Chain A
Amino acid sequence: MTDIIEMFIWTLGFFATGVFLFWEGIKLLKQKRLIENIPTSKIRSLAMGLVEIYGEVVPAYKEILKSPFSNKDCVYYSYTIEEYRSSGKSSHWVTVENGHNEQPFYLKDDTGGVLIDSKGAKVNVSRDFEFNTGFGKKTPDLVLNFLKSKGMSHKTLFGFGKTMRYKEHFIAPKDKLYIMGTASDNPFVEDGTAKNNVEDIIIQKGKNEKMYYISDKQENALLKEIKWKMLGFIFGGALLSVVCLSIILKYFDLL
């Protein structure tokens, strides 16, 4: 009986997940259209409002961030620490810690550079580091140091190694980025003191425009990725919900 109730709850959960994926797919459709609609601006002639730019990352500060697991110079990083846990018959990865850090940087194209404040952006960059613990594999010292700084341990109470997975994404100097965000007045530059228009501009999350997206892909590749994800979410989400609903209805002998 407990098994049936557990299965029912899981099915209900998957049904809700399907609806959620479907909704996310619809949101991706909106995002795709927005990216298609806005042409890429040259940085020197940026105008205020929602803009799309493509260029190379140049740090704004001498003191640059270091990525936590690979200790690489970067202007943005995010990390995830996952642990493989078993409960009953099922086992799955659980995120035990995640976080990110960023600092303002410049994006430069062949016409100029503009200050970027990546706070609040949806950053979609490829994974730069992944380490899975396993038999005979030594966890890198940088990872161990990071765990120590967070007061975490990679061992169980009995001293056995936990099955862990560490992932890291970062934006390094000279990376090429696609950014869609809001160009606003740069608060770090006093009005009337800028040598050119773009110096007085900062790209950040807009107050009215929710879209703030950073990717290491070019526009065409990005659109292709969004398109497949969108189709997958819309059709996959709907299908998952319908299949789960059928199981639930069967459970109640309605099918």
Chain B
Amino acid sequence: MAVGTIIIILVVAVFVIFAITAYIVGMFNSLIRLKNNIKKSWANINVLLKQRSDELPKLINSVKGYMKHEKGTLVELTKARTSMLNAKTISQKADADNAISSALKTIFAVAENYPNLKANENFMQLQNRISGLENELADRREFYNDSVNTYNIRIHSFPDMIIAGRMKYTDEEMFKVSEEDTKDVEVNF
């Protein structure tokens, strides 16, 4: 075989090996990034959950004088807050978060029955602040679920599944919103 032919074969081989290596390294790094994205987006949810938990005692204090007939809801909210602070797993946090969101929905809906409460500036500020945090939480939950979905699809797709299998990557859990929380709150006037 001519020297030139050997050189060309070698150069083609270098290109092919380099492309394959870059593809595999890219796939590996990409899976690590996806996994870290999930961790980061979960941490970003936690920041907001903490901020909202910090606002809840203030909210309870500002409404308890007015909502004497809704003591049950306030107790539920306090319990849900405690569960949130003690929650360790994603599903425990999701359950506590759903309970808090549900109790808050009820409180804000029932507040319509109390004109004095609606006129309270402190309550209105808290309501706006908590509603803002709820909206941001909804966005970040969606973002978290998108990150998990991208990761879960990737680790089951070929050829990523080969590397994901070797890295012992398994499905991550989505942040589920309960059926109940997607319904509107019924308020009896």
Chain A residues with a Cβ under 8 A of chain B: 22, 26, 29-30, 33-34, 36-42, 44-45, 47, 49, 111, 196-197, 234, 238, 241-242, 245-246, 249-250, 252, 254-255
Q: Are A44 and B8 in contact (CB under 8 A)?
A: no
| CB-contact partner of B12 in A33, A38, A40, A242, under 8 A | A242
Interface residues of B (CB under 8 A from A): 2-5, 7-8, 11-12, 15, 18-19, 22-23, 26-27, 29-30, 33-34, 37, 40-41, 44, 47-48, 132, 135-137, 139-140, 142-143, 146-147, 150
* Contact yes or no, B4 A41, CB < 8 A: no
Q: Is B136 touching A33 in the complex (CB atoms < 8 A)? A: no
Chain B residues with CB under 8 Å of A47's CB are 40-41, 44, 47, 140
Would A238 and B40 be within 8 Å (CB), given that A29-B23, A39-B147, A45-B143 are in contact? no
Collect the chain A residues with CB atoms within 8 Å of residue B15's CB. Answer: 22, 238, 241-242
With known contacts A37-B33, A254-B4, A45–B139 Cβ distance under 8 A: yes
* Bound complex: CA A249 to CA B40 (Å): 53
Give the docked Cα–Cα distance between A30 and B30 (Å): 9
Q: How far is the CA of A36 from the CA of B132 in the complex (A)?
A: 29
Check B139 against A42 for contact (C-beta < 8 Å).
yes
A-B contact pairs, 8 of them (CB 8 A): A22-B15, A30-B26, A37-B30, A45-B137, A45-B140, A238-B19, A241-B11, A246-B4
Bound Cα distance A40, B146 (Å): 9
With most chain B CB atoms within 10 A of its CB, the pick from A26, A44, A111 is A26
Q: Report the nearest A residue to B51, measured CB to CB.
A: A197
> How far apart are A4's CB and chain B's nearest CB, in angstroms?
18
